Amino acid sequence: MSDSFVTDSNLQAVATFGAGCFWGVEMAFREIPGVDTAVGYMGGDIDNPTYEQVCRERTGHAEVVQVRYDPNKVDYDTLLAVFWKSHNPTQRNRQGPDIGSQYRSVIFYHDEQQQAAAQRSLQALDGSGKYREPIATAIEAASTFWRAEEYHQQFLEKRGQASCRI
């Protein structure tokens, strides 16, 4: 299954972020009023990838959270702020103990406005002195979103967990 997952007609805008394992990142976005989320894969070179294929780094996809949101309730800059806070953007192809290109830090933009906002926010964070290392986050054009298997959707919520940190 690809792009479709929202039935609320007020959720008119879409944003897609890769920030390591999608479980914890999804939970961070789900806390924002006016959004709905789905986890999946983007940025690779095969159609309809499975979790196992992505984990073996055979597809080029990143684990991502796709956020559908109501721009009257939340703006893209707020989503960017949550993205930056939800992971370490200086790590290349990893987050904590998770290693591989599927865990890369990436913002997939859906239009020129998102691209410009993502670049501005990356430059501001990189120049802020918050991190000793440079920001490794890529900014790429969105491609097809492939929804992950159902057991990955809202994984932490289904288990009553607040985070997936060790």
Q: What is the pLDDT of residue 3?
A: 45
Q: What is the pLDDT of residue 7?
A: 47
Which neighbouring-strand residues pair with 155? none
CATH number for position 146: 3.30.1060.10
Q: What is the pLDDT of residue 2?
A: 43
Give the number of domains in the chain. 1
- Does residue 7 fall inside a structural domain? no
Q: Write the pLDDT tens digit of every residue in 65-74.
A: 999 999 999 9
Catalytic annotation present for 21: yes
Q: What is the pLDDT of residue 27?
A: 84
Q: What is the pLDDT of residue 148?
A: 85
Which one is catalytic: 15, 21, 39, 122? 21
Tokens of 145: 């979103």
Distance, CA of 70 to CA of 57 (rounded, Å): 34
- Does residue 59 fall inside a structural domain? yes
Q: Is 65 helix (H, G, I), strand (E, B) or coil?
A: strand
Tell me which residues of the chain have a pLDDT lower than 70: 1-11, 150-152, 154-166
Q: What is the pLDDT of residue 47?
A: 96
- Does residue 50 fall inside a structural domain? yes
Q: Which domain holds residue 48?
A: 13-155
Q: For the whole model, what pTM was predicted?
A: 0.86
Placement of tokens 């009553």 in the chain? 160
- Does residue 2 fall inside a structural domain? no
- Does residue 164 fall inside a structural domain? no
How many Å from the N-terminal Cα to the C-terminal Cα in the chain?
31
- Does residue 162 fall inside a structural domain? no
Q: What is the pLDDT of residue 154?
A: 65
Q: What is the pLDDT of residue 165?
A: 53
Distance, CA of 114 to CA of 120 (rounded, Å): 10
- Does residue 166 fall inside a structural domain? no
Distance, CA of 129 to CA of 98 (rounded, Å): 25
- Does residue 1 fall inside a structural domain? no
Task: Name the residue among 81, 85, 86 with its Cα closest to residue 63.
Answer: 86
